Amino acid sequence: MTPAVEVRGLHKQFGDLQVLKGIDLDVMPGEAVVLLGSSGSGKSTLLRCINFMEEPTEGRIRVGGELIGTERSGRMTYREADLCKLRTRVGMVFQHFNLFPHMNTLENVMEGQVMVLGRSKADAKENAMLQLARVGLEDKAPEYPARLSGGQKQRVAIARALAMDPEVMLFDEVTSALDPELVGEVLKAMRQLAEEGMTMVCVTHEIGFAYHVANKVCFLHDGQILEEGAPQMVLKSPETARVRDFLEGHSLFRLPD
Ligand SMILES: Nc1ncnc2c1ncn2[C@@H]1O[C@H](COP(=O)(O)OP(=O)(O)O)[C@@H](O)[C@H]1O
Ligand SMILES: [Mg+2]
């Protein structure tokens, strides 16, 4: 089976700072991969490279088996037009939802479909309502973001990304900025997506989510994948002191026996 995302030898450097130092990662279709790691380990940079908000310094990324970029004498070059197309195939949701404040929920979920994919307003609206239903918010279609809770806004952001029919969804700490009582509804929406078979890569500190939802957990340290495997293995029997320390430092480290 062809991986939905295949990362090989990925390096990313900002000036003199080496952030990613040779990442290899396969995400199979329908798989939910959770990336764990301390702050500054390179998790966001890895996600941003997968949807080419950042261009890799070195390495190859394939999405749906297709090499992104053009290889010329051993080096990759990237054309903006190709990257724009790629970004519609790889959806991303961030910690800070950036909904358009002057548009209601429905319009927020329609916008990209009309402007980027060129869908008719009628088609975009029909699909937007389906995606809002998927995250349990169809009744909020006419509301403006200012009148939504943080958890609802984040679910609209997820619906907006889903509306582009992505092959893969990337989630970067989407619950980290939420009040604790709002975290559950967003994790539930993500869990449902995973159960529907959406291919996803999630950066999260929610160890319980990783344990119950992920097919694979990868622990990033200093720009490399230090441990990788089934959640029952990495989270319950970590091989390195680094991962053990990280897990012990997490107040949410309460796993079933
Ligand atoms: N655009 C950038 N320019 C310079 N340094 C960056 C940039 N983005 C990230 N970094 C640096 O890369 C390192 C990893 O950052 P990041 O990928 O955000 O880590 P994480 O998401 O695991 O906390 C940090 O030292 C950060 O300061
Ligand atoms: Mg980050």
Residue 162: pLDDT band (50, 70, 90) is very high
Residues 6+ apart with CB under 8 A from 243: 219, 226, 227, 234
> Which atom of ligand 1 is nearest to 45's Cα?
17
Tell whether 255 is covered by a domain.
no
Distance CA 16, CA 165 (A): 37
CA–centroid distance, 228 to ligand 1, in Å, is: 21
CA–centroid distance, 45 to ligand 2, in Å, is: 7
Tell whether 257 is covered by a domain.
no
CA-closest candidate to residue 199, choices 68, 42, 67, 63: 63
Residue 252: the pLDDT is: 54
pLDDT tens-digit series, residues 54-80: 999 999 999 999 999 999 988 999 999
Mean pLDDT rounded to a whole number for the chain: 95
Write out the residue range of the structural domain in which residue 63 sits: 5-248
Q: Is the CB of 201 under 6 A from ligand 1?
A: no
In the predicted model, what is the mean pLDDT of residues 229-257? 85
pLDDT tens-digit series, residues 31-62: 999 999 999 999 999 999 999 999 999 999 99
Q: Is the CB of 45 under 6 A from ligand 1?
A: yes
Contact call for residues 170 and 90 (beta carbons, < 8 A): yes
Angle at 204 between CA 251 and CA 67, to 5 degrees: 155
In the predicted model, what is the mean pLDDT of residues 92-121? 95
> Which atom of ligand 1 is nearest to 172's Cα?
21
Residue 172: the pLDDT is: 97
Single pTM value for the model:
0.95
Written as six digits, the tokens of 77 are 């070059």
Residue 195: the pLDDT is: 97
Q: What is the DSSP letter of 140?
A: G
Domain count, the chain: 1
Q: Which of 11, 12, 13, 17 to mutate to test the pocket of ligand 1 (most atoms within 8 A of CB)?
A: 17
> Which atom of ligand 1 is nearest to 203's Cα?
21
Asked if the model's pLDDT at residue 133 lies above 70, the reply is yes
CA-closest candidate to residue 227, choices 242, 209, 249, 207: 242
pLDDT tens-digit series, residues 195-239: 999 999 999 999 999 999 999 999 999 999 999 999 999 999 999
Nearest-ligand number for the alpha carbon of 171: 2
Asked if the model's pLDDT at residue 254 lies above 80, the reply is no
Tell whether 254 is covered by a domain.
no
Tell whether 61 is covered by a domain.
yes
**Atom 1 of ligand 1, residue of closest alpha carbon:** 14
CATH at residue 115: 3.40.50.300
Written as six digits, the tokens of 252 are 């949410």
